[in-house]
Amino acid sequence: MSKIINHQDLEVYQLAFANAMEIFNLSNNFPRSELYSLTDQIRRSSRSVCANLAEAFRKRRYRKAFIAKLSDAESEAAETQVWLDFAFNCNYIDENTKDYLHLQYNFIIGKLVNMINNSDKWSL
């Protein structure tokens, strides 16, 4: 494992970013009528996982703030899973895509929970 200097070095950040970009590309095919609802929501929540990770990384010296931002990232990852369910049920994505992205977000959530449970290792 290489040294972690900034949030972009975190494996969980890289995974969240890649999945947010995949969701962005998929959502380009959603109907125009969803632009200000499902498309906006799923893009926002998937990107928010990354943004909250960046904030958490910078708040490592304050354990409670660090945990709070990681918790926010975890919540946004779970919210993204909900929007994936809607996208699937509206026939905007296929089942394999939904299942794959759900697994990816479960993995992200697991990594976030692990960081929360071991927050003392991340303190400055």
Q: What is the pLDDT of residues 7-26, one digit of tens each?
A: 999 999 999 999 999 999 99
User: What pLDDT score was predicted for residue 123?
Assistant: 82
DSSP letter (8 states) at residue 122: T
pTM here is: 0.95
**HEC-encoded secondary structure of 54-101:** HHHHHCCCCHHHHHHHHHHHHHHHHHHHHHHHHHHHCCCCCHHHHHHH
CA dihedral angle for residue 7, residue 75, residue 45, residue 68, rounded to 10 degrees: -40
* Domains of the chain by start residue, with CATH: 7-27+35-119 (1.20.1440.60)
What residue type is 81 in one-letter code? Q
The answer to whether 48 touches 76, Cβ cutoff 8 Å, is yes
Q: What is the pLDDT of residues 41-82, one digit of tens each?
A: 999 999 999 999 999 999 999 999 999 999 999 999 999 999
User: What pLDDT score was predicted for residue 1?
Assistant: 54
- Residue range 28-34: mean pLDDT, rounded: 96
